[in-house]
Structure 1
């Protein structure tokens, strides 16, 4: 994608390089296009792609919106309600990109009808795979997508490392989970790292026997992430027309960490309800500083507020109502208290909550009913399937 965008002539001196030809003489060249390795290339290419969509939005406002909103550099991901609409969107998006001499291709879909409507050269699957019904799994924006079952999955391709601080950090960091589907499991790995940091051990020195046993136990559960699958769609295929959408945000804190999760609750015209996990996040408690349980509960409420901000910005769905849930009476009291002058620490966090939510949106939930409880305490993979 980067090679499709020219560098301004006055900036090409920044991309000079030396090259040796067959005569072994060094020659100086300049790149005329943006290259891999330059930090500016993704931003320039993204800007160029969006400018092409903006300049040609008369062809299709929906396709232009898709290019501007649903692309991450050169990967685009979106959903539509019908196969006909998808084919039209693909056709118009390709036409818009062609206006800027960009080729939009390597399409994949959970619908064989959509792929059949495209030339084989523009698909990421061959005819033999398509007509045999063997739609492959794809890696989409870092997530493993099983197009046949239309679910997100996790692949255990983590390379084991020595039981050292460096090795354990490397393994935990290899788990890519931007939506927080396995955040409770990842939290337990981060807690082990925190224990190692407290021991102030050397980066390449073997960890203590106690931590090593705990780490081996965590590694034994790691392959079970492959058994977890998350439906890509927020509603079942035959759910029908949605009449109401609500976002419910839950937060909690414990001695181990803080967690928050957001669920989308949808009601169709027949009154049927479907709930799906949208986003989750967990953090270990900072090792430095004095954090009481009430303070941690307030910090988790800020996490829930931040999830709300992100979802309101990124979800292209109309949300009718939004609710926030915590099992901390003290946190609710502080949020609804407009008379007391709190300390700077508390006041700053209450300001974040008050600026972005209404007091009437906050409610109490018992601890045993709070789904954020496992995000703050951690949980093995084999116990996560029933909670996603």
Structure 2
């Protein structure tokens, strides 16, 4: 019998009616003979509501206390789902992270999964039960509740699928697959039937919100297929699979637009060995992800250093950067939040020349200036002024024939 992990996001379980609808879908699949593990997010907007409540109480709440609070949303959704499935005559085993347990590190609000004990899950499956697991949350070896960051239920689901050696993991969401571009920006976006792990990882890392980046990293490592599909339709979605399972590579598979990045620049950094490492050390220790980095050519013994961080971490990153800039005797620190990161991604870029030139030329014709450039083997990313974000995205989607 196939062993399947299914994850349903917040919009899929937003209210009682939708919970009942998902329960019927799960029951139908179970009746086909599949062994099933269900991972749930909190009901839509529950996590935001809890975060806002915490902010009202304290502007500088202990992350450990925040995790204790915001992890409760998933407890509600798995309880209601267990009741709904029970009403359909099927047995369930709802489990919180500590009951499994899902062990994480101690990095509260952004914890990483270290290991998962599958014994209790397997025991329930052997009894023919549908296992329902709270996503987003973990448990430290010291006995504290953690959460694993925004979109963390994706990571929970894929990690469970890998640990339990599931045949595949289905991610049910409010979109019916992975598209060549955000359909809200380009109405002629096309659904991608199959995409490689590597491309999906770059898409997720560049701002596509269909899957959390860490979930794709885990799937890539353990080669578990992911099926991204709609909670509200029966249509086939997008399969995320090894590259060798895709018949032919397209040059560019997708364009992403990320408006959740900010830029920090440090002027007149002494051009000495080890200075750059000293600058980024406190940022790394704070768990802030630095994406694009540009260091200008040295002049008169000084250089400028510019990098991007998530907009939600900007305030903390500025404070850390200003402190370390004084320590290394650098100049002023400047920041800008009105930027967008636009990326083109495709495994075919490995074997085709001139892709970056085509990208830059198309944007220059529209008078769109480029502030930063970053590349990987299958991606070119640029930072531009926020006001051009959607225009640039539409231009590149058309230029690379993704319509």
* TM-score range for the pair, normalised by the shorter chain length: under 0.3
Q: Normalising by structure 1, report the TM-score.
A: 0.27
* Larger Rg, first or second structure (1 or 2): 1
Give the TM-score taking structure 2 as reference length: 0.27
